[in-house]
Chains A and B, each alone.
Chain A
Amino acid sequence: MGKLVTEMLKGTLEGIVLAILAVRPAYGYEITAWLRDQGFSDIAEGTIYALLVRVEQRGLVDVEKVPSEKGPPRKVYSLNAQGREYLEEFWRTWSFLAERIEQLRKGGPQS
């Protein structure tokens, strides 16, 4: 774990975050905290934030500004229809990738 898991997560983090948002709306810090609880301890707040900016710009999530007791209002993200479509595509791609890699492990690229 450690460095390698961070490297391998890079391409999948977007799907992971969208999958979290598919369960319920959340703000950035909640997402990072949840990921840490799940053992992804090296994930930086800024990384998740940059990712949220990206999925917002691509129209995969809806954003609502919710006032908070301390500090500025929080941006709460929820998955919209376009995001759901993208998430399905992500899971299909993930299954394909996981299957092929598992095949490699079991001994070579025969189909």
Chain B
Amino acid sequence: MTAESNESKSRYLQYLELVLGPLEDKKRWRQYKARVKGLPENYRIAVEALERYLMHFGPADGAGAMAMYEDLADLFEQSAADGIPIRAVFGDDPIEFVETFMANYPLGQYRRRERDRFTSAVERAAGEDRTK
């Protein structure tokens, strides 16, 4: 993930990553999936449901997204170990939980682009556009 590790990569690896995306991310993703697999069944089902939601509405790219999934694994491993019931983890409103959780991480490209577009549209409408 660091510049240093990039420099030490062989040409072949660099080429592979160009085609496949960063291999560190893939490794981290596999490790995360293994952690989810190790959870008791109902916790695993809950995490996979969250994962589906995050795939649609969360950040989709980069290290920020990976950190998000790893934090999620932390929460559910801890909750399973402490014997906290699923409902006590999510509360009454699972959407509220996942949205609050998601807000901690960088926006995905799509959301960021649309927010920028919206913000500058309001700026223009308010007559604040200084680029023209």
Residue of A nearest to B80 (CB): A71
Interface size of A by CB at 8 A reads 20
- Asked if B84 and A29 sit within 8 Å, CB to CB, the answer is yes
Task: For chain B, residues 60 to 100, give those with C-beta under 8 angstroms from any C-beta of chain A.
Answer: 71, 74-75, 77-82, 84, 88-92, 96-97, 100
Interface residue A100 (Cβ < 8 Å from any Cβ of B): no
Report the tally of A-B residue pairs with Cβ distances under 8 A: 55
A28 to B77: give the CA distance in the assembly, Å.
13
- Asked if B104 and A71 sit within 8 Å, CB to CB, the answer is no
- Asked if B89 and A72 sit within 8 Å, CB to CB, the answer is no
Chain A residues with Cβ below 8 Å from B74 are: 72, 75
The minimal Cβ–Cβ distance linking A74 to chain B, given in whole angstroms, is: 7
Chain A residues with Cβ below 8 Å from B79 are: 45
The minimal Cβ–Cβ distance linking B69 to chain A, given in whole angstroms, is: 13
The minimal Cβ–Cβ distance linking B54 to chain A, given in whole angstroms, is: 13
Chain B residues with Cβ below 8 Å from A44 are: 88-92, 97
Q: Which of A28, A46, A57 counts the most B-chain CB atoms under 10 A from its CB? A: A46
A52 to B71: give the CA distance in the assembly, Å.
11
The minimal Cβ–Cβ distance linking B110 to chain A, given in whole angstroms, is: 22
Chain A residues with Cβ below 8 Å from B91 are: 42-44, 46-47
The number of chain B residues touching the other chain, given as a range, is: 20 to 34
- Asked if A50 and B77 sit within 8 Å, CB to CB, the answer is no
In the A-B complex, the 9 residue pairs with the closest CB atoms: A71-B81, A44-B91, A50-B101, A46-B97, A50-B100, A45-B89, A72-B77, A53-B104, A46-B89
Q: What are some 27 contacts across the A-B interface (CB < 8 A)?
A: A28-B78, A29-B84, A42-B91, A42-B92, A43-B91, A44-B88, A44-B91, A45-B79, A46-B89, A46-B90, A46-B91, A46-B97, A47-B96, A47-B100, A49-B101, A50-B100, A50-B104, A53-B71, A53-B101, A53-B104, A54-B103, A54-B104, A68-B81, A70-B81, A72-B77, A72-B78, A75-B74
